[in-house]
DNA sequence: GCGACAG
DNA sequence: ATCTTGTCGC
């Protein structure tokens, strides 16, 4: 790790260690109540020496799969990307965008881990304390923790293997689509892993291996960035 | 010096 | 994350 980040790492680690005891890996709602799910993602660009980012949140109806709302925020990015501390870099714009929502999502899904993290504090878990809603972590690649690799799930859609480290389940490798690379699902907060997996699978279609809300948020960030680039 | 490393 | 075209395959 870069030496100039040592101070931040110490400071950030303390903040997350204080939040950890408040994490609850149980549903804070009834499954029948799930109606709107928000997907969150960011995209970046730069002008000269300054770094900018945009956060897009796309709210999708759990049953009809229709988009019911889209909001975004943007601004200068002041925190560097440090593996394990993604939340501190992305949270400011996430909170800014979430404040613009007129609908109230039942839960949020993130592009990144939740409990599957060195300190159980991936962005999905960390963000729940500010959004005050249940959250799910959905990562496209594996973050190796304590030298532990994950077991590859079978090729069938819906197949998964739990990622267990020191007798504890951190998350799971989930094959959302037959024959395609697995994604990594973990609890964010106020939800259990089985429900998290169920929600993710509900949003899988032929278009991508990622759940629809996160996929659409990703597409939206690229679109918004294109528009903002010329106007900043 | 080399490799790791969510996004 | 981002820099980037075509191309192989269903």
Quick: pLDDT tens for A83-119: 999 999 999 999 999 999 999 999 999 999 999 999 9
**pLDDT range class, residue A48, cuts 50, 70, 90:** confident
Q: What CATH number did the domain enclosing A112 receive?
A: 3.30.2170.10
Q: Is residue A104 part of a domain?
A: yes
A120 CB-to-strand B distance under 7 Å? no
Q: How many domains does chain A have?
A: 1
Q: Which nucleotide shows the minimum CA-to-C1' distance to residue A183? A: B6
Q: Which nucleotides of B are covered by protein (CB under 7 A)?
A: 4-7
Q: Is residue A188 part of a domain?
A: yes
pLDDT above 80: residue A7: yes
A143 secondary structure, DSSP code? -
Q: Is residue A159 part of a domain?
A: yes
Q: Is residue A2 part of a domain?
A: no
Q: Is residue A18 part of a domain?
A: no
Query: Is the dihedral angle over the CA atoms A19, A20, A24, A25 positive or is it negative?
Result: positive
pLDDT above 80: residue A30: yes
DSSP string, A83-131: TT-HHHHHHHHHHHHHTT-SS--SEEEEEB-SSSSTTS--HHHHHHHHH
Q: Is residue A11 part of a domain?
A: no
3-class SS of residue A33: helix
Tell me the CA–C1' distance in angstroms for A139 and C6: 28
A58 CB-to-strand B distance under 7 Å? no
Tell me the CA–C1' distance in angstroms for A172 and C7: 33
Structural domain span for residue A171: 23-229
Measured torsion, CA atoms of residues A126, A128, A134, A138, in degrees rounded to the nearest 10:
-40
A225 CB-to-strand C distance under 7 Å? yes
**pLDDT range class, residue A41, cuts 50, 70, 90:** very high
pLDDT above 70: residue A232: no
A119 CB-to-strand B distance under 7 Å? no
C-beta of residue A137 within 8 angstroms of C-beta of residue A116: yes
Q: Which nucleotide shows the minimum CA-to-C1' distance to residue A119? A: B6
A208 CB-to-strand C distance under 7 Å? no
pLDDT above 90: residue A207: no
Q: Which residues of A are annotated as a binding site for Mg(2+)?
A: 41, 111
pLDDT above 90: residue A194: yes
A204 CB-to-strand B distance under 7 Å? no
Q: Which nucleotides of C are covered by protein (CB under 7 A)?
A: 1-3
Q: Is residue A1 part of a domain?
A: no
Q: Is residue A5 part of a domain?
A: no
């Amino acid at each position: 790790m870069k030496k100039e980040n040592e101070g931040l790492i110490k400071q950030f680690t303390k903040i997350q260690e204080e939040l950890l005891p408040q994490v609850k890996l149980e549903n804070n709602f009834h499954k029948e109540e799930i109606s709107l799910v928000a997907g969150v993602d960011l995209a970046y660009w730069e002008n000269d020496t300054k770094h900018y980012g945009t956060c897009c949140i796309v709210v999708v109806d759990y049953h009809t799969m229709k988009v019911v709302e889209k909001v975004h925020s943007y601004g200068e990015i002041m925190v560097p990307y440090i593996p394990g501390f993604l939340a501190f870099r992305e949270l400011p714009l996430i909170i800014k965008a979430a404040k613009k929502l007129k609908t109230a999502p039942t839960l949020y899904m993130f592009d990144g881990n939740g409990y599957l993290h060195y300190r159980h504090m991936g962005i999905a878990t960390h963000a729940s304390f500010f959004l005050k809603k249940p959250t799910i972590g959905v990562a496209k690649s594996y973050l190796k923790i304590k030298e532990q690799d994950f077991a590859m799930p079978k090729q069938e859609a819906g197949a998964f293997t739990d990622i267990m480290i020191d007798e504890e389940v951190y998350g799971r490798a989930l094959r959302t689509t037959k024959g395609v690379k697995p994604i990594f699902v973990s609890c964010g907060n106020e939800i259990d892993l089985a429900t998290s997996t169920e929600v993710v699978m509900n949003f899988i279609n032929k278009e991508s291996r990622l759940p629809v809300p996160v996929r659409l948020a990703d597409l939206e960030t690229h679109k918004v960035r294109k528009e903002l680039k010329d106007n900043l």
